[in-house]
Structure 1
Amino acid sequence: MQAQTSLTVLLLIAAFIHEGDAIWCYRCTSATPGCADNFNWRGIGFLGEQCPESNDICVKVTERRGAKETITRDCLSALNFRTDIPADKYEGCRPAAKDVRLAHYVNHTIKEHDVKRDFFTETTFCFCFLDHRCNGAGSLKTSAIAAAATLLLLLVGLH
């Protein structure tokens, strides 16, 4: 009897969830105090922003060249101008895609423009969409573990 009641409550909750509600993500760069690798949301002074699209996901982009590291936290829709976004955008981290045609027709010698986007030797994209403000985590595996633990608790509670 209790399992049926729990299942009914879960179905009612699922029925009232609106699809149009967008995910909330942190939107900052490592130039902002508190937004570097040792993330501190109190340092950036806000709790994130709602993404513009209803099916958006949070992204953390880490770009490295030697000891220099740049971190960008944002919504995926705000980074659509980049051509190195991996095709696989499921939960987790993966290296950037290579665009061999990038700046193919550009012929100038101003290195600072970085038109070929080859200044950074290592670029990693971390995607998450299981919980709000999930791109603040140092390692995005914590949100997957939290989701798995929640699912396990629900399954144990139903039996």
Structure 2
Amino acid sequence: QIGTFAINFSRPAGQVIAQYYEFLRLGREGYTKVQNASYQVAAYLADEIAKLGPYEFICTGRPDEGIPAVCFKLKDGEDPGYTLYDLSERLRLRGWQVPAFTLGGEATDIVVMRIMCRRGFEMDFAELLLEDYKASLKYLSDHPKLQGIAQQNSFKHT
């Protein structure tokens, strides 16, 4: 009698299979280099974004924190004159998908932004994102009356 081995996912497994293929093709050392490059880009973005606003970071993209992602919220009590929804919308208009959304459970009042640094998102893209990020902040500073509209149409995890 042969047992079966099945894995049930709620999402397609294509990305998992692709990562496994990359691991087999590159070997442990090569795959580690690829992942470390993603962590370096994420940490760089977190360091640079920290200089641009009153943000509190939940994840700074460093390996000891988990995945190569940057996640932050506005510091409590700070009002930079824009919301993260506004900033997300401005970045979307410049071609970037950097979602702003509320957390779930007991934290539905906390709005965060998240940047995922995947393979292929290298330093040159990070620099372009930072340029557009700064341009978006300037626009929001120069046009304070146009803010607040983005929250109505923003991405929701619920």
TM-score after normalising by structure 2:
0.30
Q: Which of the two has greater strand per residue? A: 1
| Greater relative CO, 1 or 2 (CA 8 Å, sep 6+) | 1
Q: Work out which of the two has the higher radius of gyration on C-alpha atoms and give 1 or 2.
A: 1
